[in-house]
C-alpha cells in the first residue's frame, strides 16, 4: 500500500510538471488560476506546519515541539540559513527534553 501511494504521488507530481510544460500560455494568463496557484502553497505549508507542531493523533496539543518551533521562528526572523533553522529547532527541542524528562 505504501509503495502504491509512493507511485501514485510521484506520478501525479511528474504529470503536473509535464503538464505545465505542455499547456498553452494563454491559460496561465487567467488571473484566477494565478491567484489560486500563488496562495495554495502558503496555505498548505502553514496547515502542515500547524498539524505537525500542534497535534498528536487527532488531538490538538501544546508541548515541547512548540518551543522548538518558536526557536525556528526566531531564527527565520534573524534570516538564518535553512539548515540553521532546522537544526536549531531540533537542538532546542532535544535540549528541553534532556533537561525536563
Partner 1 sequence: MEPAQEQGGERLPVIRDAVGIGLATSTYGLSFGALAATAGLDLLQTCALSSLMFTGASQFAMVGVIAAGGNPFSGAAAAALLGARNGLYGLHLAPLLRPRGRRRLFAAQFVIDESAAMTIGRRAPEAWLGFWAAGLSVFAFWNLATLLGALGARALSDPSVLGLDVVAPAAFLALLAPRMTSREPWLIAALGVAVALLLVGPLPPGLPILAVACAATVAGLVLSRGEAASAPPEQTEQGGMEVMDQ
Site residues (CB under 8 A) for partner 1, limited to 58-77: 58-60, 65, 68-69, 72-73, 76
CB of 88 to partner 1, least distance (A): 8
Q: What does the CA dihedral 35, 40, 45, 47 come to, rounded to 10 degrees? A: 120
| Distance from C-alpha of 87 to C-alpha of 81, rounded to nearest angstrom | 10
**Contact between 99 and partner 1 (CB under 8 A)?**
no
Return the HEC string of 65-87: HHHHHHHHHHHHHCCCCHHHHHH
Residues 4-63 that bind partner 1 (CB under 8 A): 4-10, 12-14, 16-23, 25, 27-28, 31-32, 34-55, 57-60
Tell me if 100 contacts partner 1 by CB under 8 A.
Answer: no
Residue among 50, 18, 20, 22 at smallest CA distance from 37 = 20
Measured from the CB atom, the residue of 38 and 100 that comes closer to partner 1 is 38
* 75-94 positions binding partner 1, by CB under 8 A: 76, 81-83, 85-86, 88-94
Amino acid at each position: 500500500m505504501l509503495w502504491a501511494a509512493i507511485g501514485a504521488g510521484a506520478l501525479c507530481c511528474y504529470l503536473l510538471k509535464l503538464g505545465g510544460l505542455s499547456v498553452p500560455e494563454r491559460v496561465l494568463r487567467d488571473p484566477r488560476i494565478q491567484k489560486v496557484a500563488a496562495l495554495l502553497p502558503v496555505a498548505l505549508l502553514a496547515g502542515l506546519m500547524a498539524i505537525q507542531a500542534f497535534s498528536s493523533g487527532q488531538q490538538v496539543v501544546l508541548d515541547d515541539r512548540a518551543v522548538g518551533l518558536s526557536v525556528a521562528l526566531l531564527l527565520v526572523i534573524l534570516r538564518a540559513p535553512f539548515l540553521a533553522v532546522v537544526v536549531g529547532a531540533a537542538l532546542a527541542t532535544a535540549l528541553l527534553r534532556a533537561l525536563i524528562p
